[in-house]
């Protein structure tokens, strides 16, 4: 809370807006003047006593005005009352020789403290004019004043003036000290604020580590200082950090980052620098190292420190990280370019299985450019619908007749040629384009199935569904709309999903599957046996068939273990009331073994690969 001082009145812009402390100080001054006037009246002659008593009455009235908050009038009245009192006492006593002349500076001091500039100048002008007129009248002999003689009254008047002046000076001195103290305190606060602002501008507020800007400056210093020593720049990114935020909340995520910063810092020397760029990204500068083997060992120590288990909000947390490594000047001297290259190497480490480090290589840059180019071409292809569908026939193993088809997306690009699905589908999922592609495939496949049915062929159509499409939460609405637009019966549509889809966001997936199952849409597990192999979900979800992965089917004629595994899957499906579809059937012997095991249907080159619409129609 700000303290009031006498100097707050020096501006004089609004003398009515006084605080309680200011009002009390003003009352103190009026009281000391009142006491001095009463004492002076008691020791003065009749004329002076009359003036002083009249002044005392006026001061009493001013106290009443102050109590009633009539401040402007009270302050003006006080200053004029004291001025006129001094003028009167001078006039009836010793004139220009009177000690009361010393009271004018005191009144002017009060005016300077309590009034505005115009009021002060008016009062000052009046005092100068009065004194000048008095002096002129004395010089011209119009009035005569006796020379000053030291008397008891002189002694009392002098002491009263000194008392009032001393009290005023004491107030001024005390308030001056208060002002200086407040200025020092304010200056200290400003300095601390500037230091805090500078610290915040240079450091990450969450971990206290230096930020990107300071890291760049540190890199420049290290690179300039160590002209014969390479500077290693490590880009560290946590693996699967998002699930921690999702499961435990962002506060827990912040605690994890703070703990990780401490663990990483413990593995570094005083010459090294650890910086947080944002999110779960950290950068380390290592400028003192002997050889590549030592540097790799230090990087490995950083990875191990990330794997240490610790508690966050009563939950055990264990992390891992992927690290990209670049060297200056070998990989460049520009800090931002080195960070970009280290980031590229870090993503390569994630592709290689995470929880490892990867050195930057020049070819990674080309891979990034190729990926970017592919992404741009993919966006254009989605926008212009430059995709086609191929259809893999599904055969009844007993009758050897076609019972349905699996719609497979194909992309031929004018610049890139035929792009494999295992290349562009993951990129579509990464960029969010899979939703548009999924709708495109559904519309085309359902329309084609309806066309075949109208031609007299009762075929089912199978369409692969991505986990991203389930996460959108609107799959039932999308499928319902497509079925309504194409006129295809729901029971003729089968949606294929992988085992991993059933594990991630289980409740969301289950809810949507139940809604679609009520319509009559069928569901199949694709590539069964290669995923989580958690048999519990088979009875929890509305499934209709299992598609046995081709990696098992292809070897059943040569490998008894694969045959036993396939046989076990078929028996499991039969016990749960599920159909089975064997993928990758390529020879008569495999077909014979599958029939013996009781498999329902099959796909594979033994009959046909995925073909165009016209070629599929020819097979019918």
Angle formed by the axes of helices 335-351 and 212-225, to 10°? 110
What's the pLDDT at 149? 58
Cα distance between residue 243 and residue 318, in whole Å? 12
Q: How far is CA 194 from CA 214, 368, 542, in A?
A: 17, 43, 64
pLDDT of residue 340 exceeding 90: yes
Q: CA 488, CA 612: separation in Å to the nearest integer?
A: 20
pLDDT at 351 exceeding the cut of 70? yes
Per the prediction, the chain carries an average pLDDT of: 86
Domain boundary among 360, 381, 408: 360
Instruction: Judge if 178 and 44 occupy the same domain.
Output: yes
Q: 414, exposed or middle or buried, with CB in 10 Å at 0-12, 13-18, 19+?
A: exposed
Phi-psi region of 559 (alpha: psi -120 to 50; beta: other; left: phi over 0): beta
Output the CA angle 271-272-273, nearest 5 degrees: 125
**Position 18 pLDDT exceeds 70:** no
**Number of domains forming the structure of the chain:** 3
Least Cα distance to 395 among 123, 120, 206, 591 occurs for 591
Q: Is residue 206 part of a domain?
A: no
pLDDT over 60 (residue 13): no
How confident is the model at residue 423, as a pLDDT? Answer: 92
Residues 6+ apart with CB under 8 A from 241: 253, 256, 279, 280, 319
Residue finishing a domain among 339, 360, 381? 360
pLDDT value of position 8: 39
Q: Are residues 400 and 505 in the same domain?
A: yes
Domain CATH for 491: 3.20.20.450
Determine the average pLDDT of the residues in 205-230: 87
- H-run or E-run covering 583: none
Q: What is the dihedral of CA 388, 389, 390, 393, to 10 degrees?
A: -170
Pairing assessment for the beta strands 281-286 and 402-413 based on DSSP bridges: unpaired
Say if residue 28's pLDDT is above 90. Answer: no
Rounded percentage of the chain residues whose pLDDT exceeds 70? 92
* Claim to verify: residue 440 and residue 557 sit in the same structural domain: yes
pLDDT for 21 equals: 59
Say yes or no: 226 and 127 in one domain: no
Q: CATH number of the domain that 253 lies in?
A: 3.30.70.270
Give the three-state DSSP class for 67. Answer: helix
Burial of 199 (0-12, 13-18, 19+ CB in 10 A): exposed
Write down the H helix ranges in 141-151: none
CB 466 within 8 A of CB 429: yes
The answer to the question of residue 471 being in a domain is: yes
CA trace torsion 156, 158, 159, 160 (10° rounding): 80
122 and 170 together in one domain: yes
What is the tens place of the pLDDT at every residue in 530-572? 765 556 678 788 899 999 999 889 889 888 898 999 999 999 9
| pLDDT-based confidence at residue 381 (cuts at 50, 70, 90) | very high
Among 132, 163, 182, identify where a domain stops. Answer: 182
Q: Could you say which DSSP state residue 323 is in?
A: E
Question: What is the pLDDT averaged over residues 231-247?
Answer: 88
Average pLDDT estimate for 184-206 = 81
428 shares a domain with 302: no
Backbone angles phi, psi at 223, to 5 degrees: -70, -40
Strand boundaries in 258-341, DSSP class E:
273-278, 281-286, 310-312, 315-317, 321-328
pLDDT tens per residue across span 88-136: 888 888 777 777 888 888 888 888 877 888 988 999 999 999 988 988 8
With a pLDDT cut of 90, the percent of the chain lying above it is 45
Beta strand ranges found along 400-535 (DSSP E): 402-413, 417-419, 460-464, 493-497, 522-528
Residue 78, in any domain of the structure: yes
Rg (CA), the chain: 47
Cα three-residue angle 512-517-520, rounded to 5 degrees: 140
Q: How confident is the model at residue 16 (pLDDT cuts 50, 70, 90)?
A: very low
166 and 291 share a domain?
no
Strands 417-419 and 402-413: antiparallel
**Residue 182 vs residues 66, 189, 191, 497: alpha-carbon distances, Å:** 28, 10, 14, 72
* Same domain (yes/no): 471, 584: yes
Confirm whether 116 is domain-assigned. yes
The domain of 255 spans 212-360
Q: Is residue 193 part of a domain?
A: no
DSSP H or E stretch at residue 391: strand 387-396
Confidence of residue 231 (pLDDT cuts 50, 70, 90): very high
CA neighbor of 15 nearest in space, from 61, 64, 79:
79
State the pLDDT at residue 262.
92
**pLDDT (mean) for 484-492:** 95
Residue 20 has a pLDDT of 64
pLDDT tens per residue across span 269-282: 988 999 999 889 99
Residue 14 binned pLDDT confidence (cut-offs 50, 70, 90)? very low
CB 299 within 8 A of CB 234: yes
* pLDDT tens digits, one per residue of 586-606: 999 999 999 999 999 999 999
- Give CA–CA dist 450/459, Å, rounded: 9
When pLDDT is cut at 50, 70 and 90, the band that residue 356 belongs to is very high
Q: Is residue 204 part of a domain?
A: no
Q: pLDDT at position 310, please?
A: 82
pLDDT of residue 5: 37
Do 405 and 459 touch, CB atoms closer than 8 A? yes
- Distance (Å, whole) CA 170 – CA 159: 16
Is 484 found in the same domain as 407? yes
Quote the CA–CA distance of 587 and 576 in Å, as a whole number. 28
How does residue 397 score in pLDDT terms, banded at 50, 70 and 90? very high
pLDDT of res. 9: 39
Report the pLDDT value the prediction gives residue 11, as an integer from 0 to 100. 36
Q: In the prediction, which pLDDT does 158 show?
A: 67
- pLDDT beyond 90 at 248: no
DSSP letter at 307?
T
Does residue 170 sit in the same domain as residue 78?
Answer: yes
95 and 235 share one domain:
no
Please tell me what DSSP assigns to residue 608. Answer: B
Question: Is the distance from CB of 15 to CB of 32 less than 8 angstroms?
Answer: no
- My answer on whether 397 and 337 are in the same domain is no
Whether 202 is covered by a domain: the verdict is no
- Does a structural domain hold residue 199? no
C-alpha span between 220 and 213 (Å, rounded): 11
């Amino acid at each position: 809370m700000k303290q009031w001082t006498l100097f707050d009145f020096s501006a004089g812009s609004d003398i009515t807006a006084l605080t309680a402390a200011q009002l009390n100080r003003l009352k103190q001054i009026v009281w000391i003047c009142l006491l001095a006037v009463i004492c002076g009246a008691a020791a003065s002659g009749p004329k002076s006593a009359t003036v002083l008593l009249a002044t005392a009455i006026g001061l009493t009235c001013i106290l009443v005005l102050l109590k009633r908050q009539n401040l402007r009038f009270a302050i003006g009245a006080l200053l004029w009352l004291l001025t006129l009192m001094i003028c009167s006492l001078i006039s009836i006593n010793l004139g220009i020789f009177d000690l009361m002349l010393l009271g004018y500076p005191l009144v002017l001091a009060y005016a300077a403290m309590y009034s505005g500039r115009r009021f002060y100048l008016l009062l000052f002008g009046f005092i100068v004019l009065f004194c000048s007129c008095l002096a002129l009248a004395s010089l011209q002999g119009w009035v005569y004043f006796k020379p000053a003689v030291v008397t008891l009254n002189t002694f009392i008047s002098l002491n009263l003036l000194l008392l009032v002046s001393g009290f005023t000076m004491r107030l001024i001195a005390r308030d001056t000290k208060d002002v200086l103290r407040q200025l020092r305190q304010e200056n200290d606060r400003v300095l601390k604020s500037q230091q805090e602002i500078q610290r915040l501008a240079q450091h990450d507020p969450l971990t206290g580590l230096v930020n990107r800007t300071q890291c760049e400056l540190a890199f420049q210093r290290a690179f300039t200082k160590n002209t014969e020593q390479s500077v290693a720049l490590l880009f560290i990114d946590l693996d699967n950090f998002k699930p921690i935020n999702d499961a435990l909340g962002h506060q827990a995520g912040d605690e994890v980052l703070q703990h990780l910063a401490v663990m990483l810092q413990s593995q570094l020397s005083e010459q090294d620098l650890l910086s947080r760029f944002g999110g779960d990204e950290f950068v380390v500068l290592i400028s003192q190292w002997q050889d590549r083997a030592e540097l790799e060992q230090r990087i490995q120590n950083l990875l191990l420190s990330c794997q240490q288990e610790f508690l966050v909000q009563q939950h055990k947390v264990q992390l891992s990280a992927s690290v990209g490594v670049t060297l200056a000047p070998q990989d460049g001297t520009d800090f931002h370019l080195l960070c970009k290259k280290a980031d590229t190497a870090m993503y390569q480490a994630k592709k290689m299985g995470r929880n490892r480090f990867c050195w930057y290589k020049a070819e990674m840059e080309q891979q990034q450019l190729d990926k970017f180019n592919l992404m741009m071409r993919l966006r254009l292809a989605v926008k212009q619908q430059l995709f086609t569908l191929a259809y893999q026939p599904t055969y009844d193993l007993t009758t050897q007749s076609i019972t349905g088809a699996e719609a497979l997306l194909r992309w031929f690009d004018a610049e890139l040629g035929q792009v494999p699905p295992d290349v562009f589908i993951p990129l579509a999922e990464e960029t969010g384009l899979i939703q548009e592609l999924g709708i495109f495939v559904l519309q085309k496949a359902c329309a084609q199935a309806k066309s075949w049915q109208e031609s007299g062929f009762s075929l089912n159509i199978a369409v692969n569904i991505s986990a991203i499409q389930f996460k959108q939460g609107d799959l039932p609405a999308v499928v319902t709309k497509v079925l309504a637009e194409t006129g295809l019966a729901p029971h003729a549509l089968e949606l294929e999903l992988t085992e991993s889809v059933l594990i991630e966001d289980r409740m969301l997936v289950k809810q949507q599957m139940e809604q679609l199952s009520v319509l009559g849409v069928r569901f199949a597990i694709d590539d069964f046996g290669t995923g989580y192999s958690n048999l519990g979900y088979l009875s929890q979800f509305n499934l209709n068939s299992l598609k046995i992965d081709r990696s098992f089917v292809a070897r059943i004629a040569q490998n008894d273990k694969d045959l036993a595994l396939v046989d076990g899957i078929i028996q499991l499906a039969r016990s749960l009331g599920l159909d089975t579809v064997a993928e990758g059937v390529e020879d008569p012997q495999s077909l014979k073994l599958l029939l013996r095991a009781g498999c329902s249907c099959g796909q594979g080159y033994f009959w046909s690969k995925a073909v165009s619409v016209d070629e599929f129609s020819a097979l019918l």
